[in-house]
Amino acid sequence: MAILLFIVILVGLILVHEFGHFAMAKFFGIRVDEFGVGFPPKLWGKKFGETEYTINLLPFGGFVRIFGENKDETPMEDVDRAFGAKSKWKQAAVLVAGVVMNVIAAWLILSVGYMIGLPGGSEYSGLGKVTQDQVTVLAISPDSPAAKAGILAGERIERIQAETGSYLESDALSDDVRHFITQHSGEELTLTLARGNQTREVKATPVEGIVQDRAVLGFVLDDVGIVRLPFYLAFIEGGKLTYQLLVGTAVGLWDFISSIFKGQGDFSSVAGPVGIVGVVGEASQFGITSLLMLTALISLNLAIVNLIPFPALDGGRLFMVALEGITRRPVPPRIFAGLNMVGFGLLILLMLAVTYHDIAKLFV
């Protein structure tokens, strides 16, 4: 089920991206020869107007074949409708349109999330208010009693009971739980935890030394509830969250790329296809809103990654268009094709490296 969800999300977001290229090319009068769902070999195709719409065998995305986009192809007809015949700013607009569509998609997805109800913590300061607060585990300290008991980030504390019989129910706040734990130092506690629709019990004993002057179990808690907004406010708050996630994603990617050049790259913090399948599976267990959040985040990641000025990505092609505009000379087709081939090969190697680390994590 997780693999199917991953494929649906990935194909949907890539098609949104490709539709941006498609729509902008059509807007500028550039001929679009094919809009494909999946990758060849072709299973079915139907031509409407000048564009053939196809469904292909490999279900891992989609593509748009724009007339005259490949420099190694010399148009023999409709020369004025070729991609290369248009002004540089129009070419750039076609290339950027896919990224813009991914950002718009994330905005719409998050806005729908706010209409349904997105998670919000005690520090939420946007429109509306947080309701239905529940004490939720946000992070776990390594080698702490919480880690040894198998408590996981994202689980809600429904009940906590000490050996003496005193307890707290689900209506308690995170401050109450922290105080309760401190008051029962060295005493085994029974915690009832909820994750999605499933509950379980674990036992852990608070210890001193992790936090100064008090006993703790070694997790970070917050009162996490639901923020539900009417549609007109949902679009405003969805736009703000989209911007925050976009900036955070860009900064995180920049830090990761910088660490690679410094020889400090840590692939354990990066998820490839195998890792994302696992994350999608976990998100689906938390309900539709968690899945919407993850889908929006993947969409923004696609947008940011595609803007990197690297061959075989939109950013690389955009760099070539800018270079041609500055030098007023076209990049030779052989150099353009060679750079794209090298860039594609490096991207495949990177994906294989990240996938290897994904698989290795499964056996740790």
Percent of the chain whose pLDDT exceeds 70: 82
Give the residue carrying structure tokens 């290229």. 21
Q: Do 90 and 38 share a structural domain? A: yes
Distance CA 273, CA 301 (A): 13
- Residues 174 and 248 occupy one common structural domain: no
Quick: pLDDT tens for 162-190. Answer: 888 888 877 788 888 888 988 888 888 99
Q: Do 214 and 153 share a structural domain?
A: yes
Q: Which of 117-121, 251-255, 319-323 has the lowest mean pLDDT?
A: 251-255
Catalytic residue among 18, 69, 158, 237: 18
* pLDDT tens digits, 79-105: 889 998 899 999 999 999 999 999 999
pTM score, whole prediction: 0.81
User: How many domains are there within the chain?
Assistant: 2
Q: Are residues 330 and 276 in the same domain?
A: yes
Residue 124 within any structural domain of the chain:
no
Verify that 257 and 214 share a domain, yes or no: no
Does residue 56 lie in a domain region? yes
Domain co-membership, 110 together with 243: yes
Same domain, 106 and 240: yes
Which comes out higher in pLDDT, residue 358 or 68? Answer: 68
Nearest residue to 81 via CA among 40, 49, 37: 49
Query: Residue 249: which domain range?
Result: 2-117+236-362
Which pairs with CB-CB distance under 8 Å and at least 24 residues apart come from 208-217? 210/141, 210/144, 214/182, 214/185, 215/181, 215/182, 215/184, 215/185, 215/186, 216/144, 216/178, 216/181, 216/182, 217/144, 217/145, 217/146, 217/149, 217/151, 217/181, 217/189
Secondary structure letter of residue 10 according to DSSP:
H
Across the chain, mean pLDDT equals 82
Please indicate, yes or no, whether residues 344 and 252 belong to a single structural domain of this protein.
Answer: yes
155 is catalytic: no
* Same domain as 187, residue 93: no
Residue 213: phi and psi, rounded to 5, are 70, 15
Give the CATH number of the domain where residue 223 resides. Answer: 2.30.42.10
Question: Which residues does 165 contact at the CB level (< 8 Å), separation at least 6?
Answer: none
What pLDDT is stored for residue 363 in this prediction? 47
Let me know whether 316 and 345 are in one domain.
Answer: yes
Reported as a pLDDT band with limits 50, 70 and 90, residue 293 is confident
Flag whether 125 is in a domain.
no
**Are the C-beta atoms of residues 64 and 34 closer than 8 Å to each other?**
yes
List 193's β-bridge partners, or say none. 157, 200
| pLDDT tens per residue across span 257-278 | 776 666 665 555 555 454 555 5
If DSSP states are collapsed to H, E and C, what string results for 228-288? CCCHHHHHHHHHHHHHHHHHHHHHHHHHHHHHHHCCCCCHHHCCCHHHHHHHHHHHHHCCH
157 and 12, same structural domain?
no
Assess whether 207 and 300 both reside in one domain.
no
First-to-last alpha carbon distance for the chain, in angstroms, is: 23
